[in-house]
């Protein structure tokens, strides 16, 4: 899958958090804060890692003024103005996770939020924790008390509270050859600090996919995924080859060779080759690798199986075959995988002679090609999981998911069981009805108090919604309001049927919501949603003021030239989100067409810093979810593979014509921007429709499939999107000249002679998905034929171009580029 370019969704935080706004004191200081009496927590004792910072601004002596190389002095003021504006957006924090726990007296809940904020100067993302206490009075009115300040956890790779909320795990991954550091925090202090050397394992996976960090029910053991120790490399000295040297032995009179090349998991996983399973005993500090798995599987997403007194403890994990070519993993959900069970290692007095000799891995999901995100029902009777079997079978990197369950054998050894359907793949849905499950994450505790209702976020058309699924009956219900175009993202579910979520739109900054299951005697449960009081920092007021002048709508775009040979779902209207000014003008504002990557992803109605910034410059936005996007049923999605560069291009042009026909756009003032596959579309559009766009911008675009197929970490993507599911059988590491010609003919570069649109290229030099050579070749070729081109290469960025400084420079340049060629 080729990533779309929209940035993270921010969240409003309490007024005390305004210490991070650009309007506050620029001085940085350290301070130990008192523990709040309302929410005792291990977070309050992270004193030695606590920063209270201004975050963005620092006092520095101003150097001699210089004009940046390549910047015309006449437009330097544009850079000044737009940089100041975009900083208002980038300063906003994002909420990444949340956890809730019952208060000791049973009245109300403690909520802990993991928050991120870009630090432009450090070019990193700050990690912070913020606590609150939430309660309801007898009238159902919500009362929220926030801790006075957020706490910055410096150097933390991940933070995971225990199930009870009484302990907090903080992991700090190593730099160079340093050990991994595990910290266990209690209510009053740091209780344990464990250092795990590289000879035991490398970095712990905190990537959100292989990542699996799971506390045991008694909170004495933690299972997790980390990089297996490197294989021994040959050692040489002045005498030649040196024998009998360990993997970590150092000798100033010798040096390590490279050894055999090992394939890694591609984009963003450089150097990550063999994720393996480990368990740490937090009392003794002992770490043990889980036996019996072997190097033929890469593992992830581990959870503890329910415990039965007197029987061995088991771990359940996802395994991906790793003994063949490792194709890129990130954004690619079509990689075959299965659920496995294995005995957990024994510690201390549990170990008996020959007790762990009988270790075998049990495949629990033999009848399906995809199984991930395992979750046990609270009673331990079922193991529930998601499947991307449609993606695996078709070759599309993303598709409509299905939900399944396995009956769990609570007595004796687990064994393969019949996979039962809970929610099947939705092929074609009726208007307004459930389009299928589109989700690749799940809470560690997603259950309501009935023990059978699972709460998940899912894409529904051009919106994200929250749904409930009864895993016994298979009933699916949308529990967020159906009469709103806003998007909702799930944060946490507690034992009292309370939900924390984030609600936002392209014109509304994110708002934390608190959902309660209404006491209704009717068969269909109803949910009551309240705002969680979160006074915004001053820096948000400018953004809210800008957004208040905007409006948006989700347009239904009829398919042009409906074809009889297409399925019903493929002929249904697709959607585009239109953002515009509330003010009425005689002339239409200039319009930016925004295109997502993938192609099997979606751009949603949720808040986006980059889209908000571009709309605030006076542009209308047309955000097109062409056929093939997620959220519209499997038939619509599967209509695109084999027609990339044709059907999706026509859909975008149809959406533009629709906006013009409605009087929403001036055909002489249209620009286009896209990243990855969106860059592929943008490059196609300026070649196939050279008179439609006054300017274009592309981020890591696919411009030449014939060049990409031999250099990308996902070569099979080129085959599937070019030839459809037949591409799976055609796929080869050495394409013939005939295949290479077909790839060239389906690429934007085949339309190069017609291109005349000024184009901005934004490229990541460390992109393994669409290597930088693809964009550079196209840019050089355009420049050769006299088309105005600007190229910015970010030396340390991968496919997403997401490092704070790179993101900032990218969108400021997009704004300046479009203002240069598309005046209001």
Question: Which residues are CB-contacts of 688 (< 8 A; sequence separation ≥ 6)?
Answer: 649, 751, 754
- Alpha-carbon span 5 to 807, nearest angstrom: 10
Q: Per-residue DSSP letters for 666-712? A: -TTSEEEEEETHHHHHHHHHHHHSTTS-SEEEEES----HHHHTTTS
Three-class secondary structure assignment of 494-528? CCCCEEEEEEEECCEEEEEEEEEECCCCCCCCCEE
Q: How many helices (H) and strands (E) does the chain have?
A: 13, 39
- Rounded Cα distance between 775 and 733, Å, is 22
d(CA 752, CA 773) in angstroms, rounded, equals 16
Of the candidates 467, 485, 474, the residue with the CA atom closest to the CA atom of residue 525: 467
Q: What is the DSSP letter of 43?
A: G
Could you tell me the CA-to-CA distances from 267 to 3, 393, 768 in Å, in that order? Answer: 11, 23, 5
Query: What 3-state class would DSSP assign to 35?
Result: coil
Between the alpha carbon of residue 130 and those of residues 13, 94, 96, 367, the distances in Å are 9, 12, 11, 44
Contact in structure between 382 and 471 (CB atoms under 8 Å): yes
Residue 97: which of 442, 403, 460, 333 has the closest Cα? 442
Pairing of strands 759-764, 487-493: unpaired
How many CB atoms are closer than 10 A to CB 710? Answer: 14
Question: How many Cα atoms sit within 13 Å of 145 on the Cβ side?
Answer: 11
Contact yes or no for 518/498 (Cβ under 8 A): no
How big is the CA angle at 101 (ends 95 and 105), to the nearest 5 degrees? 140
* SS3 state at 305: coil
Q: Please, which residues have CB within 8 angstroms of residue 734's CB and are 6 or more apart in sequence?
A: none
Structure tokens at 341: 């069970």
The SS3 call for residue 77 is helix
Please name the residue that has the structure tokens 């959406």: 655
Classified as helix, coil or strand, 142 is strand
Tallying the residues shown for the chain, one arrives at 824
414 within 8 A of 431, measured Cβ to Cβ: no
Q: Which residues are catalytic?
A: 676, 767, 799
Record the tokens describing residue 432, joined without a space: 């307004």
The CA distance from 595 to 21, in Å, is: 31
Q: The dihedral of CA 671, 675, 679, 680: what is its sign?
A: negative
Strands 620-625 and 591-595: what pairing?
A: parallel
Measured from the Cβ of residue 667, the count of other Cβ atoms closer than 10 Å reads 13
* Lookup: tokens for 721: 């999107």
720 within 8 A of 395, measured Cβ to Cβ: yes
Q: What are phi and psi of 237, to 5 degrees?
A: -140, -170
Residue 136: C-alpha distances to residues 314, 534, 722 (Å)? 40, 16, 56
- DSSP characters over 126-167: EEEEEEEEEEE-TT--EEEEE-SS-EE-TT-SEEEE-TTSS-
Distance separating alpha carbons of residues 179 and 281, to the nearest angstrom:
17
Residue 520: both structure tokens together: 């209704």
């Amino acid at each position: 899958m080729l990533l779309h370019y929209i940035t993270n969704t921010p969240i409003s935080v309490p007024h005390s958090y305004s210490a991070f706004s650009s309007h506050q004191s620029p001085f940085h200081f350290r301070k130990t804060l008192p523990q709040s009496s309302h929410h005792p927590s291990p977070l309050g004792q992270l004193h030695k890692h606590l920063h209270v910072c201004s975050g963005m601004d620092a006092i520095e002596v101003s150097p001699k003024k210089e004009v940046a190389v390549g910047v015309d002095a006449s437009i330097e003021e544009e850079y000044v103005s737009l940089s100041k504006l975009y900083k208002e957006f980038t300063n906003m924090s994002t909420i990444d996770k949340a956890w809730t726990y019952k208060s000791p007296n049973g009245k109300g809940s403690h909520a802990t939020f993991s928050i991120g904020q870009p630090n432009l100067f450090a070019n990193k993302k700050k990690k912070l924790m913020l606590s609150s206490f939430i309660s309801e009075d007898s009238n159902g009115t919500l009362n929220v008390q926030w801790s006075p300040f957020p706490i910055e956890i410096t150097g933390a790779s991940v933070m995971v509270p225990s199930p009870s909320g009484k302990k907090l795990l903080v992991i700090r991954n190593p730099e160079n050859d340093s050990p991994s550091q595990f910290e266990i925090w209690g209510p009053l202090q740091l209780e344990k600090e464990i250092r795990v050397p590289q000879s035991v394992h490398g970095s712990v996976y905190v990537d959100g996919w292989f990542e699996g960090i799971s506390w045991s029910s008694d909170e004495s053991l933690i299972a997790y995924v980390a990089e297996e120790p490197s294989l021994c490399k040959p050692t040489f000295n002045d005498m030649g080859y040196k024998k009998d040297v360990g993997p970590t032995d150092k000798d100033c009179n010798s040096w390590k060779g490279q050894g055999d090349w090992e394939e890694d998991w591609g984009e963003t996983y450089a150097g990550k080759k063999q994720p393996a399973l480990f368990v740490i005993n937090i009392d003794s500090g002992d770490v043990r690798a889980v036996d019996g798995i072997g190097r033929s599987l890469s593992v992830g997403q581990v959870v503890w199986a329910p415990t039965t007194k007197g029987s061995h403890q088991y771990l359940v994990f996802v395994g991906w075959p790793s003994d063949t070519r490792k194709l890129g993993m990130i954004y690619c959900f079509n990689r075959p995988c299965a659920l496995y069970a294995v005995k957990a290692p024994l510690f201390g007095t549990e170990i008996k002679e020959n007790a762990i000799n009988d270790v075998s891995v049990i495949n629990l999901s033999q009848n399906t090609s995809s199984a991930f995100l395992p979750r046990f029902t609270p009673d331990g009777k079922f193991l529930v999981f998601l499947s991307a079997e449609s993606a695996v079978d078709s070759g599309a990197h993303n598709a409509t998911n299905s939900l399944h369950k396995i009956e769990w054998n609570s007595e004796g050894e687990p064994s393969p069981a019949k996979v039962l359907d809970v929610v099947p793949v939705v092929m074609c849905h009726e208007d307004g009805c459930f389009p299928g499950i589109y989700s690749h994450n799940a809470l560690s505790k997603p259950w309501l108090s009935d023990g059978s209702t699972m709460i998940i976020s899912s894409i529904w058309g051009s919106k994200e919604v929250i749904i409930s699924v009864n895993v016994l009956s298979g009933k699916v219900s949308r529990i967020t309001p159906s009469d709103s175009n806003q998007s909702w993202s799930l944060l946490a579910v507690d034992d009292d049927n309370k939900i924390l979520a984030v609600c936002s739109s392209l014109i509304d900054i994110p708002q934390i919501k608190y959902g309660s299951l209404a006491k209704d005697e009717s068969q269909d449960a109803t949910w009551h949603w309240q705002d969680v009081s979160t006074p915004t920092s001053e820096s948000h007021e400018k953004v809210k003021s800008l957004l208040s002048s905007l409006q948006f709508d989700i347009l239904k775009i009829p398919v042009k030239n409906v074809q009889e040979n297409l399925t019903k779902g493929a002929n249904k209207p697709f959607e585009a989100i239109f953002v515009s000014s509330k003010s009425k003008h005689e002339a239409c504002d200039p319009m930016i067409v925004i295109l997502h990557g993938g192609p099997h992803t979606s751009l949603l109605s949720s808040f986006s810093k980059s889209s908000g910034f571009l709309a605030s410059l006076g542009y209308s936005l047309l955000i097109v979810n062409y056929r093939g996007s997620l959220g519209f049923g499997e038939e619509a999605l599967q209509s695109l593979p084999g027609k990339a560069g044709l059907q999706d291009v026509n859909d975008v042009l149809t959406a533009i014509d629709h906006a013009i026909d409605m009087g929403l756009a001036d055909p002489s003032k249209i620009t286009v921007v896209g990243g990855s596959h969106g860059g592929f579309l943008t490059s196609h559009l300026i070649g196939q429709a050279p008179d439609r766009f006054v300017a274009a911008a592309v981020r890591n675009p696919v411009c030449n499939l014939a060049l990409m197929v031999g250099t990308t970490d996902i070569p099979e993507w080129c085959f599937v999107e070019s030839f459809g599911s037949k591409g799976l059988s055609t796929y080869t590491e050495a394409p013939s000249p005939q295949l290479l010609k077909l790839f060239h003919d389906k690429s934007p570069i085949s339309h190069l002679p017609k291109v005349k649109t000024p184009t901005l290229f934004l490229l990541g030099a460390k992109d393994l998905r669409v290597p930088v050579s693809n964009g550079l070749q196209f840019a050089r070729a355009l420049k050769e034929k006299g088309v105005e081109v600007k190229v910015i290469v970010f030396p340390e960025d991968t496919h997403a171009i997401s490092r704070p400084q790179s993101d900032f420079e990218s969108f400021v340049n997009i704004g300046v580029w479009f203002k240069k060629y598309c005046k209001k």
